[in-house]
A and B are shown apart, each in its own frame.
Chain A
Amino acid sequence: MNNLIKKLVEAYGPSGFEDQIRALIWPEIEKYADDISVDALGNLIAHKKGDGSGLKAMVAAHMDEIGVMITHITEEGFCRFTNIGGVYPHTLLGGRVQFADGRVGIIHSDRITDRSKIYGLDKHFIDVGATGRDDCPVQVGDAAGFHREFVANGKMLSAKSMDDRIGCVVAIEAMKRLKQTPHDVYFVFSVQEEIGTRGAEAAANHLDPDVGIALDVTLTGDVPEAIPMAVSLGKGTAIKVKDAGMIAHHGLVQLMKKRASEASIPYQLEVLTGGSTDARSIQIANGGAAAGCISIPCRYVHSQSETVHADDVENSIKLLVELLAKPIEL
C-alpha cells in the first residue's frame, strides 16, 4: 500500500487544480466500480451498485490539497503568492513547491529583522531560478502544491498532503475489498474541500444520499503541548462525534462503534474543536443526510510533513468495509 500512498501524496493537486491527481486515481478504481463519471466541478464519482435492499451512501475523500497561487512577479523574477486553503507562514521557510508542469520553486521570505516574529504570507516569495520577470517560467495565477518526498519511518508515514490523499487511499482500498454491498455506494473523490468543502456540496446535491461518510484526517493530542484531544496516533481509526462544523449523526456514530467492536477493529472517538470535513456539506445538502466521518489520526496537519500511522489507515479501511458490507439501520 505504501506505493499507492507515495504515488498519491507526491502528486500535484491544489484546490481547483485537481486534473493530475484525478488522472492518477481513476485507473486505480476503474476495475472496482460499476461506472465512473466526472462532474462539472471535477469530482471523480465511482458508483458501486447495491443489491437494492440498502440505502444510498456517499463516501467522500478529497483529492485536493492546500497550496499557493502566484499573485505577482517582481522585476527580479521572484514570485509573490497567496494561499489556497489553510497555509500558514510558519510552515514555509525553506520549503519547496511544485507547479503543474513539475517545476520546483523554493520558498523564502524578505529580510528578517526580528527573529521572534512570524512574517505574513505577503512577506514571502518563491524563487524558481528566474533572473528577471522576462525569463520567469511561472505566471500570475499559476498554482503550486508543496513538494516533499514520502517517508515511511516504520509504520509512521509522513508526507505533504496526507490530508487527504490518505483518505483517497482508504476509499480506493475499500472499493477493492468491498465485494458485495446492499447499498448503492458512490465513492466521491472530491475537489475544493480545503477552500470550503465545495466539491462534496455539489456532489451531495446531485446524488442526494441517505448517508454520507467523509474520509479525512483528524488531529491528535499526543504531541508536546498539543490542543487537548483524546486521539493518538496508532491507537485506531477515529469515529467522529463532533467537529467545529458539524455534529455527526448520533445513530451513525453508534453503528460505527458497533461495527468496529464486532470486527475487533481498534477505534477512538473524535471530538475535534477546530476544522471540519466534506461530511459537513453532505449533512445539509437537499433534505439532509445522516452524516459521519471515519477519520485517520494525523500529526502536523497542514504542514509539509503530515504524519499518519499505517495501522490506523488499515483500521479505517476495515471499518469502512464493515460498515458498507452490512445493513445500515439508523
Chain B
Amino acid sequence: MDIHKLLKTLTETPGPSGYEDQIAAVIEELWQPYVDTITRDRVGSLIATKRATKNGRTPPRRILLAAHMDEIALMVRDVEEHNGSGFLRVTPIGGVDTRQVFGQLVVVHGRKNLTGVIGCLPARMLPEEKQDKPFDFEDLLVDMGLPIETVNSQISIGDFISFRQPLLKLMNKRVAGKSLDNRASVAAVTVCLEQLQQRQHTWEVIAVATAQEETRLLGAYTTAFAVQPDAAIAIDVTFGKGPGANEHVTHELGGGPALDLGPNVHTGMFNALKATAEEMELNINIETHQRASGTDAHGLQIAHAGIPTAIVAIPLRYMHTMVESVALKDVERAGRLLAEFIVGLDEEFLGKLATGVMEEEKESKS
C-alpha cells in the first residue's frame, strides 16, 4: 500500500468537524474492498464492519477501531463589505492554533467551493498592543477577491471553511500537511484492514471513522454506545519530538507508534498490545496521560457498562497547524500492529483481561 498516496488523498480532502460528508465518501471508497458492510450514522460517523473469518463463538466478539476523520477548521461568522468587496469574519472549529492562521489558503464551502486567503492588517498598522501577539479572530478576515453581491449570493453565515494545503514530501519518508491529525490514523486503520485480507481472525472488526472528535469526541461516545463492542482502540496522533520539545511527553518521528497509559486505557489492553509489538519486534514508545487523554478513548471507555479501551498514537510534529508532520513508517507500523493484535484475539482474551493474566503473562516472558 502506497502510504504517501493514501495520505495525500486523505489530507487534501476537506472534512471540518460537523461537515464530514466529503471525507467520509473518500474513506468509504477506500475501505469498501476490505469490509462487509459500511454505513453512516445519525451524527455522521462512518461505520464499517469486517466479519470474522475464522470460526469462533456466535455471535463473535467485536473490537472497535476508532480514528476520527474530522479536522480543525473555520466557520463564517459574519460577512462584511468594504468598497464593494465582500469579506468574511470567522470563528474557529476545534483547537485552531491562532498563531498560524494569518496567511493561510482556505476553501469556503458556500453554494460552491470558493478559494480565499486569510488576511489581516500588517503588524505596523495594528494598535501597538496587538502588534506582536498571536492573531485575534476579530482582526482576521477571509478575502476571496469577490464583490459583495457575489459573496452574499454564494455564502451564508455558518458556512464551513477548510484549510487548503497540499501534502508535502519531506526527506526521510516524512510528510507535512494539514489534517494529518487524524488522517494519519485513518490511513493506519486502512493498512490494518488491508493486512487482515490475508489473515484469519475470530473477532469481528468494526472500523469507525468518527465525526466531530475535535469539538467534543461526539462520534466516539455515540458509536461506542450503538455498537457495544467488547473492546476498543482509539487511534490518534501524539506529540512528536523536535528542537525545544521536552523529553517526557514527546516521541521520535519514525520511532514507532506510541501506546498510551493512563485513566482512559485498560492496562490489560495496553499490555496485550505491547506484547504483540514485542513479538513482531516492532518499535513502540510508551506515552502517558493523567486526566482525559484528549482522544476518542475518553468517550469509548464509558459506553454502557464500560469498554476495555486502548490508544495507539502516531507521533506528529506541529499539531493543529498546516504543517503537521509524520513519518510514513509510523503510520504503516501502527496499521500492522493493529492487524496483528486483532489476529491474536481469541476466546480467552476477555477472560484474561478480567483477571489481569495479561500482566502475569508479560512478566513471565520477560
User: What chain A residues lie within 8 Å of B226 (beta carbons)?
Assistant: 286-288
A residues apposed to B, CB below 8 Å? 210, 228-230, 239, 241-242, 245-250, 253, 268-271, 273, 283-284, 286-290, 330
Q: How far is the CB of A171 from chain B (nearest CB, A)?
A: 23
Is A242 a contact of B93 with CB atoms below 8 Å? yes
A255 nearest CB across to chain B (Å): 14
- Does A247 contact B18, Cβ atoms closer than 8 Å? yes
Chain A, Cβ-Cβ closest to B92: A273
Query: Quick check: is B17 within 8 A (CB to CB) of the other chain?
Result: yes
- Beta-carbon nearest neighbor of A288 in chain B: B222
Encoded as 1 (CB less than 8 Å from any A CB) or 0, chain B from 83 to 94 comes to 000000101010
Does B77 make an interface contact (CB < 8 A)?
Answer: yes
Interchain CB contact under 8 A, B41 and A271: no
Closest 8 CB pairs of A and B: A241-B158, A247-B18, A288-B222, A287-B226, A288-B43, A269-B157, A269-B158, A230-B78
Q: What residues of B have a CB within 8 angstroms of the CB of A249 in the complex? A: 18, 42-44
Q: Which of A229, A239, A270, A284 contacts B218 (CB 8 A)?
A: A284
Per the bound structure, the CA–CA distance linking A245 and B123 in Å amounts to 33
Structural contact, A284 and B158, CB atoms closer than 8 A: no
Please determine whether A284 and B216 come into contact, CB atoms closer than 8 angstroms. Answer: yes
Which chain B residues lie closer than 8 Å to A250 at the CB level?
A: 18-19, 21, 44
Q: In this assembly, does B192 line the interface, its C-beta being within 8 Å of a C-beta of chain A?
A: no
Residues in B lying within 8 Å of A, measured CB to CB: 17-19, 21, 41-45, 75-79, 89, 91, 93, 138, 156-158, 212, 215-216, 218-219, 221-223, 225-226
* CB-CB under 8 A for A247 and B17, given A270-B158, A271-B157: yes
- Cβ–Cβ contact B89 & A228, under 8 A: yes
Closest CB of chain A to B120's CB: distance in Å?
Answer: 15
Q: Which residue of B lies closest to A211 (CB)?
A: B42
Among A210, A270, A283, the one with the most B-chain Cβ atoms within 10 Å of its Cβ is A283
A267 to chain B, nearest CB (A): 11
B189 to chain A, nearest CB (A): 20
Give the chain B neighbours of A210 by CB distance below 8 A.
42
In contact, A271 and B225 (Cβ under 8 angstroms): no
User: Given A210-B42, A269-B156, A288-B222, list of 4 further CB < 8 A pairs?
Assistant: A228-B89, A250-B21, A271-B76, A271-B158
Which residues of B have CB within 8 Å of A270? 157-158
Q: Which residues of B contact A239 (CB under 8 A)?
A: 158
Nearest-neighbor residue (CB-CB) of B18 within chain A: A247
Asked whether, in the complex, the Cβ of A242 is within 8 Å of the Cβ of B18, the reply is yes
Q: With the chains together, A210 CA to B138 CA distance in Å?
A: 37
Q: Is there an interface contact between A247 and B138, defined as CB atoms closer than 8 Å?
A: no
| B225 close to A287 (CB less than 8 A) | yes
Asked whether A242 lies within 8 Å of B91 as measured between CB atoms, the reply is: yes
Max chain A CB contacts within 10 Å: which of B43, B75, B79?
Answer: B43
- Subset of 19 A-B contacts with CB under 8 Å: A210-B42, A230-B78, A241-B157, A242-B18, A242-B75, A246-B215, A247-B212, A247-B215, A249-B42, A250-B18, A250-B44, A269-B158, A270-B158, A271-B76, A271-B158, A286-B225, A287-B226, A288-B41, A288-B225
Residue on B nearest A209 in the bound complex, by CB: B42
Report the tally of A-B residue pairs with Cβ distances under 8 A. Answer: 85
Inter-chain contacts of B19 with A (CB < 8 A): 247, 250
Q: In the complex, how many angstroms separate the beta carbon of B109 from the nearest chain A beta carbon?
A: 10
**Whose C-beta in chain A lies nearest to the C-beta of B21?**
A250
B222 touches A284 (CB 8 A): yes
Given contacts A242-B75, A247-B18, A271-B158, contact A286 B222 (CB under 8 A): yes
In the complex, are the beta carbons of A284 and B76 less than 8 A apart? no
CA A210 – CA B42 in complex, angstroms? 7
Cβ-defined contact, B218 with A283, below 8 A? yes
**B79 surroundings in chain A (CB, below 8 A):** 230
Looking at the assembled complex, report how far the CB atom of B155 sits from the nearest CB atom of chain A, in whole angstroms. Answer: 11
| Residue ID in chain B nearest A280 by CB atoms | B216
CA distance A270 to B157 in the complex (A): 7
Complex Cα gap A175–B341 (Å): 54
In contact, B91 and A271 (Cβ under 8 angstroms): yes
Q: Are A247 and B93 in contact (CB under 8 A)?
A: yes
List the B side residues contacting A269 at CB < 8 Å: 156-158
- The verdict on A253 contacting B158 (CB below 8 Å), with A210-B42, A229-B77, A271-B75 known, is yes
Quick check: B42 and A289 within 8 Å, CB to CB?
yes
Among A210, A228, A239, A253, which residue has the most Cβ atoms of chain B within 10 A?
A228
Residues of A within 8 A of B41 (CB): 287-288
Question: Which residue of chain B lies nearest to A273 when distances are taken between CB atoms in the complex?
Answer: B91
User: How many Å from the CB of B150 to the closest CB on chain A?
Assistant: 18
The reply to whether A242 and B78 contact each other, CB–CB distance below 8 Å, is no
With contacts A286-B222, A287-B226, A288-B218 taken as known, whether A242 is within 8 angstroms of B89 at the C-beta atoms is no
Most buried by B among A241, A271, A288: A288
Given contacts A283-B43, A286-B226, A290-B43, contact A228 B218 (CB under 8 A): no
B21 partner residues in chain A, CB cutoff 8 A: 250
Q: Which residues of B contact A290 (CB under 8 A)?
A: 42-43
Q: Which residue of B lies closest to A240 (CB)?
A: B158
Q: Which of A241, A287, A289 has the most CB of B within 10 A?
A: A287
A37 to B79: give the CA distance in the assembly, Å. Answer: 45
Closest approach, in angstroms, between the C-beta of B80 and any C-beta of chain A? 10
Q: Report chain A residues within 8 Å CB of B78.
A: 228-230
Which residues of B lie under 8 Å from residue A245 when comparing CB positions?
216
Question: Which residue of B75, B77, B216, B225 contacts A228 across the interface (Cβ within 8 Å)?
Answer: B77
CB pair A288 B42 closer than 8 Å = yes
Query: Which residues of chain B come closer than 8 Å to A246, judged between CB atoms?
Result: 215-216, 218
Shortest beta-carbon distance from B244 to chain A in Å: 32
A290 to B79, CA, bound (A): 27
Question: How distant is the Cα of A249 from the Cα of B89 in the complex, in angstroms?
Answer: 22
Instruction: Report the minimum CB–CB distance from B306 to chain A (whole Å).
Output: 16
Residues of A within 8 A of B215 (CB): 246-247
A13 to chain B, nearest CB (A): 28
